[in-house]
Homo-oligomer: A and B are copies of this chain.
Amino acid sequence: MKAHVAKTMEIPEEEKRLENQLCFAVYSTAHAFTRAYKPILDRVGLTYPQYLVMLALWEKSEQPVKAIGEQLDLDSGTLSPLLKRLEQNGLIKRTRDSRDERQVIVSLTDNGRAMRSEIDTIMGAIGQAAGCTLEEMKTIRGLLKGLRSNLTSAA
């Protein structure tokens, strides 16, 4: 007689196809976003991840690397070289915190601050491309946030 083993729910064959993977839907949509942003961001000289960092800094113009990493869920191995590029392009400044010399404070330069005026153009264009209402966007965003938090806490 069968013991009380964990029910390994049989996965229907159709659900195993690449096209039906939720992970792939997320993966390929992320790439589609990056490509959609490319021509717009090229004009202001930002890559997509750099744009995300700028969004964080436009909200709070002076933050340690760590704080930026927490918002974007990226580590310093990714951020250090990226921030160096933003600095070389004159958009940010990096200074050691005198109260805690371990920390590097990232802050906007005037150029970096000025670039915020592009935000309406950029978001407008992407909104057009995405072709969905604010309401719809909010729905998907909510579902993804739940999914993300499940995936993260599972680890």
Interface band, chain A: 35 or more
A33 cross-chain contacts in B, Cβ below 8 A: 23, 26-27, 151
Nearest residue (CB) in B for A143 is B140
A75–B11 Cα distance when bound, in Å, is 31
A21–B72 Cα distance when bound, in Å, is 12
Chain A: interface secondary structure? helix
A29 cross-chain contacts in B, Cβ below 8 A: 26, 30, 144, 147-148, 151
Query: A123, A124, A144, A152 — which one has the most chain B CB atoms within 10 A of its CB?
Result: A144
Nearest residue (CB) in B for A8 is B124
Whether A52 contacts B24 by the Cβ 8 Å rule is yes
Whether B147 contacts A140 by the Cβ 8 Å rule is yes
Knowing that A19-B71, A28-B148, A39-B155 touch, tell me 14 more A-B residue pairs with CB under 8 angstroms: A8-B120, A9-B127, A17-B55, A22-B137, A24-B52, A25-B144, A27-B52, A29-B30, A31-B73, A32-B73, A35-B155, A128-B154, A136-B143, A139-B143
